[in-house]
Amino acid sequence: MNVIMGALPKAKAGIGSAMSTVFQTVSGAIGVAALGAVVGSIYTSNFVKSAASISGLPSALSQKASDSIGAAMGIAGSGQLSPEMSGSLAQVASNSFMDGWQTMTIISCVIFVVGVLVVLKFVPSRYVTVPVEAKDVRCPVCGSETTIRTAKKGPNAGRRFHVCNRYPECEGKFPE
């Protein structure tokens, strides 16, 4: 959010904040849904494969238990099955759920690492903090506030200078 807000002029801070909040909310909901779908898909496929090894498990109950771990644990604790079969069903459901959870965790970690790499590559480093006494320095071209930055390339690399906060609309800049 700081990247978005730092890139906007003060006059557009309200819309920038609103758009950032909407983006975070929507992307969070989509992420939770997608990762939940991964867990559910892996749970179901692993459960169906493993439940076939439980001899005597009625197919109707196996089908219901493959919908979710909650359904499987409910069936296991309902008394509809023998204690041995209930234990086997609960174990298969737990293992299938943990397989889905572990895969989802690995996917989340990969997404996190990719996100960090994107940020490191494309988000600029923070600008030098403007000293208190320099906050009132105005652009000689348009009169707007300026920010102190350090040149990274070229013949002025390492030198500090004031740059207009309205850049690129105004290209006013001068040495510190």
- Is residue 11's pLDDT more than 90? no
Residue 81 tokens, joined: 């099955």
Q: Count other Cβ atoms within 10 Å, centred on residue 100.
A: 23
Q: What pLDDT band is residue 133 in, cutting at 50, 70 and 90?
A: low
- Is residue 1's pLDDT more than 60? no
What is the per-residue pLDDT for 127?
Answer: 57
What is the per-residue pLDDT for 42?
Answer: 97
- Is residue 10's pLDDT more than 80? no
Q: What is the pLDDT of residues 49-67, one digit of tens each?
A: 999 999 999 999 999 999 9
- Is residue 131's pLDDT more than 80? no
What is the per-residue pLDDT for 30?
Answer: 96
Residue 17 tokens, joined: 């904040």
What is the per-residue pLDDT for 156?
Answer: 78
- Is residue 6's pLDDT more than 80? no
Q: What is the pLDDT of residues 83-99, one digit of tens each?
A: 999 999 999 999 999 99
What is the per-residue pLDDT for 38?
Answer: 96
What is the per-residue pLDDT for 51?
Answer: 94
What is the per-residue pLDDT for 148?
Answer: 82
Looking at every residue in the chain, the average pLDDT score rounds to 86
H helix or E strand, kind and range, residue 116: helix 83-122
What is the per-residue pLDDT for 61?
Answer: 93
What is the per-residue pLDDT for 135?
Answer: 57
- Separation CA 143–CA 130 (nearest Å): 17
- Separation CA 85–CA 57 (nearest Å): 7
Residue 155 tokens, joined: 């013949």
Residue 86 tokens, joined: 């209930």
For residues 94 and 127, the model is more confident at 94
